[in-house]
Amino acid sequence: MKPFAVSTGTTTHMNCKINMLKRRSRLIEDISEPEALLEIGDASCPVRQAYEIARKFYHRARSSHDWDHSLRVYNLCERIGEKEGADMTTLRIAALLHDIGRHAQDISRGAICHAQHGARMAGPAVRQLPVSDDRKDNIIHCIRSHRFRGTTPPRTLEARVLYDADKLDAIGAVGVARAFLFAGEVGARLHSPEADVYASEPYSRDDTGFREFKVKLCRIREKILTAEGRRIADQRHEFMELFFKRFLEEYEGKR
Ligand SMILES: [Fe+2]
Ligand SMILES: [Fe+2]
């Protein structure tokens, strides 16, 4: 399946496609313009309905956890979910909605858990989708359990795939780029060589890309839950190790 082409796996829903080639500039206002992302298909497709609902929630999202991130996670879910035999309708909807609570976490500087909050926010939207009650419950569970630092472990296959896809977008080249993007969003320095990364506070000047690598990103590979996810994680982890080794050398003027 080509990237961002949405289907529910049934003939009825195969017309439901997102044409990312039509994507225009990444101005935040584009999120409110329906024609920017969609090639209109079957309006009865639950994934398409979820897409229309979800994108509006990301209007105020910071770049490190925005709609683009959810679409990358969606694509990784396609790749991993198909291999693992997941229910793709559940997984696709959960991927689109998984970070809708992120803005609340960001403006509370981490006091609110976006996974728990997002699961509550998603309830009314998911209830109106044309999917079974079991799927609705699973979608909500996927959102609630996707967080690396969360307290709800993923219990279903779909939740494990979403968890892995979300973590994979935090490592490798994209992960490094997002770590520095996030550091910029919270006003952190490029690097704090004198700071103890394990004692530094999140959302502070010392919440650097390197700190994020040391306290979180370097541990992600061992937390991945699916076989296909681990295959991708191994490659991304290797790149990240090389990047930060080189980063420190360059920072100290050694290369
Ligand atoms: Fe998240
Ligand atoms: Fe996410």
Tokens of 103: 């803005």
Q: Is residue 162 part of a domain?
A: no
Tell me, in angstroms, the distance from the centre of ligand 2 to residue 114's CA.
10
Q: For residue 147, which ligand has an atom nearest its CA?
A: 1
Q: For residue 64, which ligand has an atom nearest its CA?
A: 2
The predicted-structure confidence for 27-72, as pLDDT tens digits, reads as follows 334 443 333 344 434 788 999 999 999 999 998 888 888 999 999 9
Q: Is residue 111 part of a domain?
A: yes
Residue 39 near residue 18 (C-beta atoms within 8 A) = yes
Lowest model confidence (mean pLDDT) among 68-82, 83-97, 100-114, 224-238: 100-114
| 190, 135: one domain | no
Per the structure, the complete domain to which residue 223 belongs is given by: 170-255
Which whole number is the average pLDDT over 145-162? 92
Tell me, in angstroms, the distance from the centre of ligand 2 to residue 255's CA.
34
| 50, 133: one domain | yes
Tell me, in angstroms, the distance from the centre of ligand 2 to residue 16's CA.
23
| 110, 177: one domain | no
The predicted-structure confidence for 216-243, as pLDDT tens digits, reads as follows 999 999 999 999 999 999 999 999 999 9
| 122, 177: one domain | no
What CATH number does the domain containing 78 carry? 1.10.3210.10
| 20, 120: one domain | yes
> For residue 5, what are the contacts with CB-CB under 8 A and spacing of at least 6?
17, 18
**How many domains, in total, are found in the chain?**
2
Q: Is residue 154 part of a domain?
A: no
| 13, 117: one domain | yes
Taking a 5 Å cut-off on Cβ, the residues next to ion ligand 1 are 99
pLDDT-derived band at 4 (thresholds 50, 70, 90) equals low
| Percent of residues, the chain, with pLDDT higher than 90 | 70
| 115, 202: one domain | no
What CATH number does the domain containing 189 carry? 1.20.58.1910
Q: For residue 162, which ligand has an atom nearest its CA?
A: 2
Q: Is residue 215 part of a domain?
A: yes
| 141, 218: one domain | no
Q: For residue 149, which ligand has an atom nearest its CA?
A: 1
Tell me, in angstroms, the distance from the centre of ligand 2 to residue 190's CA.
23
CB-facing half-sphere around the CA of 156: CA atoms within 13 A: 24
User: φ, ψ for residue 114 (rounded to 5)?
Assistant: -70, -25
Q: How far is CA 104 from CA 28, 114, 141, in A?
A: 18, 7, 19
Q: Is residue 161 part of a domain?
A: no
d(CA 183, CA 211): 10
| 196, 123: one domain | no
pLDDT-derived band at 175 (thresholds 50, 70, 90) equals very high
Residue 138, pLDDT > 80, answer: yes
Of residues 108 and 90, which shows the higher confidence score? 90
15: exposed, middle or buried (C-beta count within 10 Å: 0-12, 13-18, 19+)?
middle
